[in-house]
Amino acid sequence: MGTVVDDGKKEAQQEALQEAQQEAHGSLADLNPTVVFVLGGPGSGKGTQCANIVEHFGFTHLSAGDLLRAEIKSGSENGTMISDMIKEGKIVPSEVTIKLLERAMLENGNDKFLIDGFPRNEENRAAFEDVAKIEPSFVLYFDCSEEEMERRLLGRNQGREDDNVETIRKRFKVFQESSLPVIEYYNSKGKVRKIDARRPIEEVYESVKAIFAPKDEKAD
């Protein structure tokens, strides 16, 4: 029985890939959106800065994690598959996440997007470019020391279960091992805009504004 179930999952994943490719080729490439990948370790402050960019520069902020959670909550067949994979400790296939991102972009009506927390690794990155047939305009990288990120995460009062030293350090390790190769890849193509995120929010935003403002002088 195990083999039949595994085969069924493989087929579902393959179908998700094919559907994602069809959707991408049919319309996302036609839309030719401006896509900015936003990367940074946990506690680097990227969420706060994304909100500023949305407010002042007209981008739409998409979080891969939020889209996956929303799909699970919807109770759709796709959401059930995602939920089952997470429960089994498996990584959700890149194609499934990309499909959700594409759908969100096409339904939104905007043509400027911040994609937050994606790609998480090189496999995500390669799959996005292969499926969507578009590349990011650039990568906005919030560079922050582990000491500062740890201080922020432990200091915030959000009641999150994962805000403890042991879990936080594991998340740092995952980010270092998985996301830094993505940053290095895009850096080799001259596409990384690195921000010193150790500074106060206002100072960080001044640096962010300098990156976006030349393209849109209407910013406040």
Asked if 166 and 61 touch (Cβ cutoff 8 Å), the reply is no
Query: Is 169 annotated to bind ligand?
Result: no
Query: Is 182 annotated to bind ligand?
Result: no
Query: Is 120 annotated to bind ligand?
Result: yes
Query: Is 90 annotated to bind ligand?
Result: yes
Query: Is 45 annotated to bind ligand?
Result: yes
User: Closest by alpha carbon to 101, among 24, 49, 175?
Assistant: 24
In the chain, the amino acid numbered 94 is S
CA–CA gap between residue 102 and residue 3 (Å, rounded): 31
Query: Is 160 annotated to bind ligand?
Result: yes
Instruction: Give me the phi and psi of 38, to 5 degrees please.
Output: -115, 115
Query: Is 198 annotated to bind ligand?
Result: no
User: Closest by alpha carbon to 98, among 14, 206, 182, 17?
Assistant: 17
CA–CA gap between residue 49 and residue 204 (Å, rounded): 8
Query: Is 103 annotated to bind ligand?
Result: no
Asked if 95 and 17 touch (Cβ cutoff 8 Å), the reply is yes
Query: Is 152 annotated to bind ligand?
Result: no
Residue 77 CA, chain-centre distance (Å), reads: 23
Asked if 120 and 180 touch (Cβ cutoff 8 Å), the reply is no
Query: Is 171 annotated to bind ligand?
Result: yes
Query: Is 155 annotated to bind ligand?
Result: no
Q: Which residues define the annotated binding site for CMP? A: 124
Q: Which residues define the annotated binding site for a ribonucleoside 5'-phosphate? A: 69, 90-92, 117-120, 160, 171
Q: Which residues define the annotated binding site for ATP? A: 43-48, 156, 199
Q: Which residues define the annotated binding site? A: 43-48, 69, 90-92, 117-120, 124, 156, 160, 171, 199
